Structure 1
């Protein structure tokens, strides 16, 4: 398919920039209120894993079917039925503590886009998650009736995740979380919120510098502190590899992912990743890619190509293309002249959306130290439990490695505070005074 680049036209490349896959937010999402719903996303997740699709749902008819089924078990019918109707169907809602009921939410376009992140991490692999919950016999009647409202949907076409190192942990952690029904139901939204942040932050860190974008993604350092800790510039890991660095890298997501959309369209591969380009193109394709670069700059109204690097191999040609895709979003191009098309404003909005839609739950402003990433106790215990998983307990240093594998890092000072939190919770076990002999147990 790379032969499609031979006679590529400016029209094919296009002046507009769009992201087709792997990142859900656009310039419309820079507003502070959340543009998606985890209730809707959970409903989509359940339907996808269970291979189900909700039929046209008639609430009144569904309620009547449930009440008719109640009648077979109730003697004092009218008064009790009225009580149950008010209990389970008040305000035209199904008032049931069951994740299955979340499938009734009609998902917005943005919720569907966010769900694609999780769908890609599950991919077409079989995942063992049971969304049933413990319930009394009346609630089971409602649940059984609700199940009849679905039809099978076995079309599990999906891209693979942009971050292969992360998808294996997501599936593993989701399955483990499901081993305790009550804990699963209570924490599923927090779990998805955490993984949405991890995915988007690791995506940003694996796109810039360009060497990262052209390499298979891996866990990149990103430092948190506990929410009650003080932050200062003396904490080098936090200041140099914390939110400031992440937010700076996040501005490259839209330019680079929009470039990926062009490559995907020309190569006719919706599952293409930027780090696969060096496997597709080699040094024999240097002139092919140079020609594409010229046409790309024309399409984006950039001045004629003046290489930012000497081009002696395909990696340097690709690097120049990456630099050009970011250059179009600057107020002034790399030649010091004002860009013809103003794209700085739209990029700033997409950049702001990263903070408002993804990072906000993990951020605090510590004045002189600026905005820092924080972990509160509830989220820390959830992260700890899924990191320990079926092992029941692990050495503290092993736990930190599991955190790092998932893109969560703590400096030495925070590590001391982690042990203090675990001791208060009561899930620390000491074999000796040695730090290596400190074990952390699951709280599930």
Structure 2
């Protein structure tokens, strides 16, 4: 077995009209963030469009649906009406129901999968990418488990069946091939358990399913950003702290939510697009056909193959940098020496790639991430800028899914939140206690308050 980069394959990947292009998503995809501004999702219906698309994909249906006037006309043509006034009344009723779907408003889960994507065809691409990311990260290979949970919630009625007929499938077929990997198996299992737990209360599930989906989307993206920058020390089973504040709290520089929240993520996102390109280069090699391999995956594979294999691969990275990348981009690169380790080779490749990527690409890539924060997690911290924050609704949803028994100890709640990617400092924890106490979800077993429990909410 030869252990080196596949130069011919990489050349086909990077060349476009004789020029070097910083492409991505050939063998590895990391984040669902577009670099073309028109494709950025604006979340005009909150996250419900993405949630609806995910549910359709769970059932193997087309992601894109159409709720145009033509689909209504098809229903009316097959209907029987006593006179034109009855027909007009029913037509207006259908249009009003579709308008509610366009606003992301649903009253039961059966309606959820009929929420269409945005009408803007460019922005729709950004929504579709988010759907693939969520599905691959949290659901793929467990579709039946989700379908069983949803089946128990089946509350279809005659109106629902009629509304289903107004939804015509579009030409874009469901993508059955995985676009992304599932890098955090424990986070995935946590989501599946939370979804199952939430389904114990159907009305609560309907009201909070999109909030649950956007929470896990952002948690996965945040962890990917932090872990990817650790290179070969990427951990699939250990979540790194990301601190939040509560929306009604006052932000301050000394708070963990300032230093280890949005500020941390923005710093880690600086030049992050280089990983998107570099990992595709590294993944085009002579010894593996697997997709979505990160630095640690390649590292482990080569360690298993032996020292000679690892050294051959290291040499090929520097050979490619010197003979291909530098020649085509005129960017100076590091040269090979016997002291170079695999981690150093990865770092040198990333550094070289980072110097070649334009500010425009980096900026548009970052803006797509900021859009999610701004829409769902942003607290304006004045001179401190954006602070990651949880609304009371978001907090209570997380508390609800964290308790599967009659009650849990308060100190266990903090661990449960961290298992879902949320860290709170001491001051935020005090605010959580105040909220739970006010809503009568807190149970004290002693006057000293040492033994405190959070009651089951669902």
TM over 0.5: yes
Q: Which residue of 2 aligns with 1:117?
A: 133
Q: Is the 8 A contact 1:216 1:275 kept in 2?
A: no
Q: Which residue of 2 aligns with 1:216?
A: 236
Residue 64 (structure 1) aligned to one of 66, 76, 79? 76
Q: Which residue of 1 aligns with 2:441?
A: 427
1:86-112 deviations in Å (ceiling 9; x for gaps): 223349758674213226877822111
Q: Is the 8 A contact 2:65 2:168 kept in 1?
A: no
Give the Cα separation in 1 of the matches to 2:348 and 2:209. 42
Matched, 1:303 2:308: no
Residue 391 (structure 2) aligned to one of 373, 376, 398? 376
Q: Which residue of 2 aligns with 1:259?
A: 278
Q: Which residue of 2 aligns with 1:387?
A: 402
Give the Cα separation in 2 of the matches to 1:441 and 1:2. 59
Give the Cα separation in 1 of the matches to 2:262 and 2:5. 38
The alpha-carbon deviation at position 421 of structure 1 amounts to 1.0
The DSSP-based 3-state class of the residue aligned with 2:379 is strand
Name the Cα RMSD after superposition: 3.6
Q: Is the 8 A contact 1:8 1:292 kept in 2?
A: no
1:142-165 deviations in Å (ceiling 9; x for gaps): 157569989xx9984435313333
Matched, 1:18 2:23: yes
Mapping 1:221-232, distance limit 5 Å:
221-232=241-252
The DSSP-based 3-state class of the residue aligned with 2:339 is coil
Mapping 1:10-409, distance limit 5 Å:
11-12=11-12, 14=14, 15-20=20-25, 21-29=29-37, 34=42, 38-53=47-62, 59-64=71-76, 67-68=79-80, 82-90=88-96, 97=107, 98-102=111-115, 108-120=124-136, 121-125=138-142, 126-128=144-146, 129-130=149-150, 134=155, 137-142=157-162, 145=165, 156-158=176-178, 159-213=180-234, 215-216=235-236, 218-235=238-255, 237-266=256-285, 267-282=288-303, 283-284=307-308, 285-296=310-321, 297-298=325-326, 299-306=328-335, 311-329=339-357, 343-388=358-403, 390-409=404-423
Distance 1:155-1:201 versus aligned 2 partners, 3 A rule: closer
* Structure 1: runs of 5 or more not aligned: 330-342
The alpha-carbon deviation at position 270 of structure 1 amounts to 2.2
Q: Is the 8 A contact 2:444 2:451 kept in 1?
A: yes
Q: Is the 8 A contact 1:395 1:436 kept in 2?
A: no
The alpha-carbon deviation at position 176 of structure 1 amounts to 2.5
Distance 1:10-1:203 versus aligned 2 partners, 3 A rule: closer
The alpha-carbon deviation at position 79 of structure 1 amounts to 5.4
Distance 1:164-1:301 versus aligned 2 partners, 3 A rule: farther
Matched, 1:414 2:425: no
| TM-score, normalised with respect to structure 2 | 0.78
The alpha-carbon deviation at position 7 of structure 1 amounts to 5.0
* Count of aligned positions: 419
Q: Is the 8 A contact 1:255 1:325 kept in 2?
A: yes
| TM-score, normalised with respect to structure 1 | 0.81
The alpha-carbon deviation at position 413 of structure 1 amounts to 0.9
Distance 1:314-1:273 versus aligned 2 partners, 3 A rule: closer
The alpha-carbon deviation at position 417 of structure 1 amounts to 0.6
